[in-house]
Chain A
Amino acid sequence: MRIKLNNQTVQIDPRLTLQILLREYHVPETGLAAAINNRVIPHSSWSSTVLSEHDEITLFQAIAGG
């Protein structure tokens, strides 16, 4: 199925969780936050959050500068 990952369309297996997606794409988890369809998913829910067709996933990092 197709999802969008930071605005890029990608093809993934159905019933993939957010956690497994991050692992497959080798995304380092330190300081990472993730949102699906503009809702931030708390870290403790990553492994139970199953992705759906056309989900738009935003991955972003904590930044500290000021």
Chain B
Amino acid sequence: MNSILSQQEQLRYARQMLLPELGKMGQLRLKQAHVLIIGMGGLGCPAAMYLAAAGIGSLVLADFDSIERSNLHRQILYQDQHIGRNKAQQGAINLRAMAPDVCYQVVTEKVTENNIFSLFSDVDLVLDCTDNIVTRLLINQACVALQCPLISGAAIGFEGQLLTLPMGADSPCYQCIYHSTPDERSSCLQNGVMGPLVGMIGSMQALQGIKYISQIGTLHQEAKLHLFNAIDMQWQNLALVADPNCPTCSTKHTRSKHAH
């Protein structure tokens, strides 16, 4: 049934299917896609909402954390009454009410090196919506190993970053950009973050994801990093190349050169 759109679906997605870049073919690609979202916080909430609303076939939502009162200014899937509940579980309940056609899977365990590969089965695209560097490096390593495209978002204070990595044979990875692990300058816990900013970055992860899956634009060929400053509302777009000495992906590049 994944190769046709029901009448209800045609109505539901009519306004995006009107876009010639998407059309019926793009909508079917969305319906056939499996997307893994790791982290259902300030980035994961809007990312999941827009992907679900757009008609992604299957969403895997991973978060071990529970909803706290201090999350609610930015984690817009959740309400006061959900405090204490697991984010992935509650997220799936609320998303299902909004977009019931999507198949939701929930992972409530913490993502570690022991279980990360099990999350990736049948996954076409990963959204990194996490809040810490250790998990970010782990997700990057798994995406490199499986050549799984990765859309990584991050936000702190008034600063946002959006990174799209197609993970093809010659494409760079997260560690080609950040060679060393920063100290935890960077979590919302210690530093604070503006709600609409993290919402923007999460929404743009969904936008990039929709474009990637429906093959709009050049995301398949090009890795891109976008930096956003929310105080002066400036974007900076940066081109990326693979680091031949990258600790994570350089062996992959060596291998692929030998293979050709």
Contact = CB atoms under 8 A, between A and B. Distances in A.
Interface of A: 29-33, 35, 38-40, 42-45, 58, 60-66
Contacts of B181: 30-31, 62
A66 B188 contact: yes
A30 to B, nearest CB: 5
A40 B242 contact: no
Interface string B151-183: 001111001010000000000100011111111
A40 B154 contact: no
Contacts of A40: 176-177, 225, 238-241
Contacts of B161: 60, 63
A32 B132 CA distance: 16
A15 to B, nearest CB: 23
Contacts of B123: none
B198 A66 contact: yes
Contacts of B3: none
Contacts of A44: 179, 243-246
Contacts of A35: 238
A43 B177 CA distance: 8
B43 A29 contact: no
B182 to A, nearest CB: 2
A64 to B, nearest CB: 4
A64 B154 contact: yes
Nearest to A62: B178
Given A42-B179, A66-B154, 9 more contacts: A29-B180, A30-B181, A31-B133, A31-B186, A35-B238, A40-B238, A58-B236, A64-B186, A65-B188
Contact of A64 (B184, B238, B240, B246): B184
Contacts of B156: 63-65
Q: In the A-B complex, list the 5 residue pairs whose CB atoms are closest, starting with the nearest.
A: A31-B182, A42-B243, A43-B179, A44-B245, A65-B156
Nearest to B184: A64
26 contacts: A30-B181, A30-B182, A31-B185, A31-B186, A32-B180, A35-B238, A40-B241, A42-B177, A42-B242, A42-B244, A43-B180, A44-B243, A44-B244, A58-B238, A60-B161, A62-B154, A63-B159, A64-B132, A64-B136, A65-B156, A65-B193, A65-B198, A66-B43, A66-B153, A66-B155, A66-B198
A50 to B, nearest CB: 17
A10 B27 CA distance: 50
Contacts of A45: 243
Interface string B48-59: 000000000000
Contacts of B236: 38, 58
Interface in B128-151: 129-133, 136
Contacts of B238: 35, 38-40, 58
A45 B176 CA distance: 11
